[in-house]
């Protein structure tokens, strides 16, 4: 059984660690923030309880937590053979973390990134063997989503793709394999939709509930674009749009002023309880 490490203990990192541990795997989570390490076990426990309520797992929260180690030291990761990087969508941070992961992982380890926008071949420049780099774009919340967008760069090896899809299969998730490019398929399309929905809202064409209702009732989407943005986190939306703007040069990816204003005001979506909508669940821990 491969030794797993997750880099980053935020929303996605905790979700991926929960998926791995619930499937019976031991996993080390690297997180330099003491506050995030302290909050991590609670977030995982809450995630397992929710998955049990929704009948998505029968895993015991204590057993899941018992398979997860939290550390701020690279040398305590245990030379993992499979690494899943889940740090925020900021290029300098991604570079720092992937270079360190390349140094501290086992020879031949798969380095999988949860990036939702950065081309995989760009990330592969920072590791010794570009063939070991692949994108595993988990959807949020990771434990409740059955499908992962797997992005292969032009230098991703067939063995890396095989190991990544087998890993996802052990988690009960389907891999949809796509090619490389800014935003891949999902966020190349979704981020434009969210940005334009925010522009429509700012122009007063419709309020947030009505914008979402058009997509939910007319097109049959389970969740409209503005509520989707709240779920993802408006700070993450802005970061992702910035990456897409940088890599495509397309001005359509420049965040609409309303998005920037909401983020500046600390209205980040469900993680703060207030974004385009007020969360019906109240404040959710960040």
| pLDDT (tens digit per residue) in 75-112 | 999 999 999 999 999 999 999 999 999 999 999 999 99
pLDDT of amino acid 145:
95
**Where residue 2 falls among pLDDT bands split at 50, 70, 90?**
confident
Assess whether 137 carries a catalytic annotation. yes
pLDDT single digits (tens) 203-256: 999 999 999 999 999 999 999 999 999 999 999 999 999 999 999 999 999 999
Over 90: is that where the pLDDT of 279 sits?
Answer: no
* Cβ-Cβ contacts under 8 Å for 274 (sequence gap 6 or more): 267
Q: Which helix (DSSP H) or strand (DSSP E) does residue 71 occupy?
A: strand 68-71
Instruction: Count CB atoms within 10 A of the CB of residue 179.
Output: 12
What share of the chain in percent tops pLDDT 90?
96
Catalytic residue among 137, 221, 274, 277: 137
% residues pLDDT > 70 (the chain): 97
Answer yes or no: is pLDDT of 284 > 60: no
Token pair for residue 54?
A: 């929704």
For residue 85, the SS3 value is strand
Contact 51, 144 (CB under 8 A): yes
pLDDT tens profile 120-163? 999 999 999 999 999 999 998 999 999 999 999 999 999 999 99
Residue identified by tokens 């070991």 is 132
H or E element in which residue 112 lies:
strand 110-113
Backbone angles phi, psi at 155, to 5 degrees: -110, 0
User: 200 CB contacts (<8 Å, ≥6 apart)?
Assistant: 206, 211
Q: Given this model, what pLDDT does residue 1 score?
A: 58
């Amino acid at each position: 059984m491969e030794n797993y490490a997750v880099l980053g203990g935020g929303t996605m990192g905790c979700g991926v660690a929960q998926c791995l541990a619930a499937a019976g795997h031991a996993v080390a989570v690297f997180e330099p923030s003491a506050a995030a390490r302290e909050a991590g076990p609670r977030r995982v426990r809450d995630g397992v309880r929710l998955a049990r309520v929704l009948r998505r797992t029968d895993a015991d929260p204590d057993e899941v937590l018992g398979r997860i180690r939290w550390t701020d030291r690279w040398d305590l990761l245990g030379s993992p053979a499979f690494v899943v990087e889940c740090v925020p969508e900021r290029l300098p941070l991604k570079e720092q973390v992937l270079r360190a992961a390349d140094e501290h992982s086992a020879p031949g380890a798969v380095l999988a990134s949860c990036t939702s926008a950065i081309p995989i071949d760009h990330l592969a420049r920072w590791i010794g063997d570009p063939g070991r780099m692949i994108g595993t774009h988990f959807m949020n919340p990771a434990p409740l989503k059955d499908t992962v967008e797997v992005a292969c760069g032009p230098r991703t090896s067939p063995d890396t793709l095989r190991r990544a899809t087998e890993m996802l299969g052990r988690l009960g998730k389907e891999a949809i394999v796509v090619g490389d490019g800014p935003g891949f398929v999902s966020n190349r399309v979704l981020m434009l939709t969210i940005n334009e929905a925010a522009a429509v809202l700012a122009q007063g064409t419709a309020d947030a509930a009505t914008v979402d209702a058009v997509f939910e009732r007319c097109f049959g989407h389970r969740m409209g674009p503005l509520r989707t943005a709240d779920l993802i986190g408006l700070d993450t939306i802005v970061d992702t749009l910035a990456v897409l703007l940088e890599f495509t040069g397309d001005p359509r990816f420049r965040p609409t002023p309303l998005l920037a204003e909401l983020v500046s005001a600390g209205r980040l979506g469900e993680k703060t309880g207030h974004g385009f909508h007020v969360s019906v669940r109240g404040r959710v821990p960040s």
